[in-house]
Amino acid sequence: MPRYALMIEYDGTPFSGWQRQAEGRASVQAAVETALERLEPGLHRIAAAGRTDAGVHATGQVATCDLARDWEPTRLMGALNHHLRPSPVAVLAVVPVAETFHARFSAIERRYTFRLVQRRAPLTHERNRVWLVGHRLDIAAMREAAAFLIGPHDFTTFRSSICQAASPVKTLDEIRIEEMPCPGGVECRFHLRARSFLHNQVRSIVGTLERVGAGSWAPEAMKAALEACDRAACGPVCPPGGLYLTGVGYPADPFAA
């Protein structure tokens, strides 16, 4: 059966997350699989590089699917987007891949961005797409605190209590924090890169960094929280609406051509 890789973006606001839910609640996976069923009747199950939570968005999710017939990639992309309407999901690219390629198990890197806006006024256009805080943050202090997390560590402190990963040890390759002006305030973007992440790891890290930026924690407190290996030592977990899966890395990028 021909296998295809799909690059997908979505607004996660109306969904229970990426993964199909047994109770039938709306999920991104179910939306894409339903679109595939309209093209080729029958059961379709697709695999994704990252199982984003409820309310989390994506601009570079990757999924693989097996189909019965050979499709011209552009035509398949157009047909899927037609059947995905009006869901806030779009297929950005489709490429044929080898049967050995798997969106999740072939991946060597995931990239996430968390968006935080500092302003006093409430959100209008960006509601459910950024985290709004009403105070200014010290970006230098947050960068100092973030540096303690780079490299291989036991991230138990920043791991959800329902995380199903076999080990809490992960290697965080990058945390980059940038600021930019936005209407009425300043936007802060946290860019994180690793081979894989624990459940709620990014939101737990960003929520704790916000406490550092607000002056409630000293930068060195991040190191102490990490070394505690205790969920109780974590700062607040920030809301899902500011989080985006922005890209997935593979030994050979299937979308490069």
Is 53 among the catalytic positions?
A: yes
User: How many Cβ atoms are within 10 Å of 163's Cβ, its own excluded?
Assistant: 17
% helix / strand / coil in the chain, to the nearest 5?
25, 30, 45
Q: What is the CA radius of gyration of the chain?
A: 19
Contact 17, 54 (CB under 8 A): yes
Contact 238, 51 (CB under 8 A): no
Q: Where are the beta strands (DSSP E) in the chain?
A: 3-10, 47-48, 57-66, 89-97, 109-118, 131-133, 151-154, 169-182, 185-194, 243-249
Amino acid at 139: I
The catalytic position among 11, 53, 138, 154 is 53
- Catalytic center residues: 53
